[in-house]
Structure 1
Amino acid sequence: MEPVDVALVLAVDVSASVDFQEFALMIGGLSAAFRDPSVLAAATGGPRGAAALSAVFWSDTAEPAAPWTRIQNAASADGFATLLEEAPRLPRPGATALGDGMVAGLTLLARCPAPATRSVMDVSGDGRSNRGRPPGPVRDLGVAAGVTINGLAVLDEEPDLLEHYETEVIGGPGAFAMSCADYADFVEAIRRKLIRELRGPGLLVV
């Protein structure tokens, strides 16, 4: 795969707290974002004109959800959106092993076939870690490897989840955490988050 401006892995919570309607809203929001012209412009606006994207679903275990895709035009962005829409919900709903999900995302990121100027992991979920490795030390390992880890906390289950993401999940250059009230609000929140991640730190999102 040719070089890209950013390699971005989506680490998506599919634990038992995410019911199937909420899962559909979340995947629909992600797919819609990659068909949005503003997200495409952010992905292709750097010196190399492209971004590499992949995804992993996590619960108490983790499974790859979409292979690495080089997004360089509307057709490739639409193709990645379709991969997300068609990805089976695996693993089965279980506990919220946030740290283990982050490990899976970082492992996938380390295997990105495209040389990238920046490496970013986008973590989204609606609960604190309640099984497996604690997320903080995993975050520290990722940051030491040069990865920026950002978070999107869905507050429908735990209204103070954003603080957990800010203290235990995010890290690295330009890292940030966002929140949304519920999965109905996820669509706009993930669009704004992806634009910010793909453009890089220090740039405003409209």
Structure 2
Amino acid sequence: MQRRHFLATTAGLALPAPALLLHRRAEAAQRLAEPDPVDVELVLAVDVSRSVDAVEMEMQFNGYAAVFRDRSFIEAMTHGPIGSIAVTLFTWSDWNIQEHLVPWAKLDSPAAAERFAAAIDAAPRRTHLYTSISAAIDFASNLFGRGYEGTRRVVDISGDGINNSGREVADARRDALDKGIVLNGLAVLDRTPPPPGLMPTQPLDEYFQERVIGGPGAFLMVADGFESFGQAVRRKIIREIAAAPPPGPVVERAYG
């Protein structure tokens, strides 16, 4: 009698025992494959083009690592409706060069955040040539849907130059926005005068605001030189992961 009751409660499946066992295993595997819910899926895209020298590179990596050890970040990370976020980090340069240095990780505790910070500390520092913001957006867009499901999907793009490699930024931006991805920017202003004879380009902060960022609540953080990078990236990421961020300016600035 008990056996008949067991078979009757297996979704009406009249399967022999071996097939029933395989079915149950398949159901278990499907449950394991379901994405893990988080408050935010955040992709950190870090510029390593040739305009970023070794000292500036270290400022960037140190700035990112410090965020995940910051008390205000920990509080913001754990006080959302779900109480966790998912984060990954890659570097980018030429249209065909993106290095996925720190894989996706679920951060739901100070210990998890410290592990992510340590992974940034240990990541290799490699510089390349050109600046392909468009390829960085494309690469970042394809990183979502890998084990996590956030209420928001955000790409955080840092850079100190305009797009000079790959397809048009407008096309990459449009494709990302069509997927429901929010694009935020961190523009690092270089105060070094351009070489003689080089025509001035559009100011980088204006370029990022007009051509890069987009999506609901998108904003731009401007760092006044790499000396301001640590402060800028801390403020930026905390704002990005806030459960209910108050309305803020489209452009924020960090100085020294």
- Shorter-chain TM-score tier: over 0.9
Residue 68 of structure 1 and its aligned partner are, at CA, apart by: 0.4
Cα distance in structure 1, aligned partners of 2:145 and 2:52: 28
Letter in 1 for 2:170: G
| Residue number in structure 2 paired with 1:48 | 82
Q: Note if 1:136 corresponds to 2:170.
A: yes
| Residue number in structure 1 paired with 2:212 | 169
Cα deviations by residue, 1:89-128 (Å, 9 ceiling, x for unpaired): 34x41100111111111111x2331111110000001000
Runs (4+) of structure 1 exceeding 4 A deviation are none
Letter in 1 for 2:116: F
| Residue number in structure 1 paired with 2:233 | 190
Matched-pair contact (CA < 8 Å) for 1:53–1:71: yes
Structure-1-length-normalised TM-score: 0.93
Structure-2-length-normalised TM-score: 0.76
Using a 3 Å threshold, how does the CA distance of structure 1 residues 69 and 118 change in structure 2: closer, same or farther?
A: same
Letter in 2 for 1:130: N
Using a 3 Å threshold, how does the CA distance of structure 1 residues 201 and 133 change in structure 2: closer, same or farther?
A: farther
Cα distance in structure 2, aligned partners of 1:88 and 1:154: 21
Provide structure 2 residue ranges, at least 5 long, that are not aligned to the other structure. Answer: 1-34, 192-200, 249-256
Residue 190 of structure 1 and its aligned partner are, at CA, apart by: 0.4
Letter in 2 for 1:184: E
Matched-pair contact (CA < 8 Å) for 1:4–1:50: yes
Q: Note if 1:32 corresponds to 2:75.
A: no
Residue 66 of structure 1 and its aligned partner are, at CA, apart by: 0.5
Q: Note if 1:84 corresponds to 2:127.
A: no
Q: Note if 1:148 corresponds to 2:191.
A: no
Cα distance in structure 1, aligned partners of 2:215 and 2:154: 9
Using a 3 Å threshold, how does the CA distance of structure 1 residues 203 and 66 change in structure 2: closer, same or farther?
A: same
Alignment of 1:92-131 (within 5 A): 92-108=127-143, 110-131=144-165
Over the matched positions of the two proteins, sequence identity in percent amounts to 40
Matched-pair contact (CA < 8 Å) for 1:6–1:198: yes
Matched-pair contact (CA < 8 Å) for 2:39–2:243: no
Provide structure 1 residue ranges, at least 5 long, that are not aligned to the other structure. Answer: none
Q: Note if 1:74 corresponds to 2:100.
A: no
Cα distance in structure 1, aligned partners of 2:161 and 2:243: 26
Residue 200 of structure 1 and its aligned partner are, at CA, apart by: 5.1
Cα distance in structure 1, aligned partners of 2:160 and 2:128: 13
- Higher deviation after alignment, 153-162 or 57-66: 153-162
2:105 alignment partner, SS class: strand
1:69 alignment partner, SS class: strand
1:115 alignment partner, SS class: strand
2:44 alignment partner, SS class: strand
Cα distance in structure 2, aligned partners of 1:9 and 1:134: 21
Alpha carbon RMSD of aligned pairs, Å? 1.7
Using a 3 Å threshold, how does the CA distance of structure 1 residues 201 and 166 change in structure 2: closer, same or farther?
A: farther
2:36 alignment partner, SS class: coil
